[in-house]
Amino acid sequence: MSNEGAVVRSYRDLVAWQESMRLVELVYALLSTLPVDERYGLASQLKRCSVSIPSNIAEGHARESTREFARFISIARGSLAEVETQLELISRLGMSSAIALEPAVACCDEVGRILRGLRKSLDNKLAALPR
């Protein structure tokens, strides 16, 4: 599903935001299966960093500055790395099966690919600006 060339009127039009929202939904569904004693530990942290991804995309887009948007995409990428690390911890600690984790892990891969492409596009746009 490509939105290349589509007019972006809102952060909601960005595939990066849409896919990262899907990731949040997958993370929350996964967390509902974790042990109750993790509710305020790993689960709480995973909720915060997953929500941070679409939030930073939205905030960066709203800044209406290419440089600021690129900075917020970098922050979103950092939050994505946190999510990936915490999903790996859940796996290593035996809190969930690889099969249960697979949809969220696959979505992380897709969101990462999209964010890398978006950041590269923004960097190219910045490089083309007159100095």
Place of tokens 């083309």: 128
Question: Which regions of the chain are under pLDDT 70?
Answer: 1-5
Query: What pLDDT does residue 3 have?
Result: 53
Query: What pLDDT does residue 31 have?
Result: 93
Topology of the domain covering 11-128: de novo design (two linked rop proteins) (1.20.1440)
Q: Reduced to 3 states, what is the DSSP secondary structure of residue 9?
A: coil
Write down how long the chain is.
Answer: 131
Give Cβ neighbours of residue 107 (< 8 Å, ≥ 6 apart): 19, 22, 23, 26
Q: Select from 80, 79, 102, 78 the least CA-distant residue to 90.
A: 102
- Burial call 85-98: b when 16+ CB within 10 Å, e when fewer: ebbeebeeeebbee
Query: What pLDDT does residue 1 have?
Result: 42
Query: What pLDDT does residue 4 have?
Result: 56
The per-residue pLDDT for range 113-131, each reduced to its tens digit, is 999 999 999 999 999 988 7
Query: What pLDDT does residue 2 have?
Result: 47
Tokens encoding 86: 């915490």
Q: Select from 123, 121, 118 the least CA-distant residue to 14.
A: 118
Query: What pLDDT does residue 131 have?
Result: 77
Q: Show me where the domains of the chain are located.
A: 11-128
